[in-house]
Every structure is written in C-alpha cells, then in structure tokens.
Amino acid sequence: MDLQVKKLGENKIIIAGAITFATAPRAQKLGCRFIAEAKQPVFDLKNVVVEDGSGVALLIEWVKFAKKKFGKTIEFINLPDQLLGMIKLGGLEQMLPIK
C-alpha cells in the first residue's frame, strides 16, 4: 500500500497508507514541509496502516521538528487503534499531542 498525503485547507493534512521503514523518510519530508507552512498543523491519521515501529518514531520526529524549528504545537487526530496502542505501550501519551 502506497503512502498518500492530501492537504485539506491550510492547517490539516490527511495521511493514508502504510507507514513503514521504507515509506517513513518520504512521509517525514512531506510532514515537515506541511508543518513549516501551516499555522496550527493537524495530522489526520485515520487511514494509516502501521506495520512496524516507524510510525511512532515518525510522530515523535514531527513533534520535535515543529517545536524546535518553529515553536509550533501540532495535533494528531483519528489515530488507528494499532498506532494508539503502540504509543500507550511506550508511555508516550504525554509527549504526543493526540486527540
């Protein structure tokens, strides 16, 4: 399953497809570009399929990038149960802005 990114308005982006170690670098670049452009970045992840730990690592990288480079807080919405489970298992709920 190929990774797809669709921008909705200036502050929301929908990520769809599999986030894997192979697709994460492309997703990171696209996400960072979106973070730079958006005033209040929101990532909708309802159509994401997580196949390994790269999805959690990617979210952490986006949070760090937004804060360090732009002083922005980003928000993640509609996380699939598998990704949410990985985040909770790792004790990362406080670090990742999930709604």
Instruction: Band the pLDDT of 19: cuts 50, 70, 90.
Output: very high
pLDDT of 59-94, one tens digit each?
999 999 999 999 999 999 999 999 999 999 988 888
pLDDT of 28-63, one tens digit each?
999 999 999 999 999 999 999 988 889 999 999 999
Task: List phi, psi (to 5°) of 4.
Answer: -125, 145
Q: Which residues contact 35 (CB under 8 A, 6 or more apart)?
A: 41, 62, 65, 66, 69, 70, 72, 74
| Two tokens, residue 78 | 């509609």
| Two tokens, residue 74 | 């980003």
Quickly name the fold that domain 4-89 has.
Transcription Regulator spoIIAA (3.30.750)
Domain segments of the chain as ranges = 4-89
Place of tokens 């919405």: 77
* Separation CA 43–CA 6 (nearest Å): 10
What is the predicted pLDDT for the residue at 41?
96
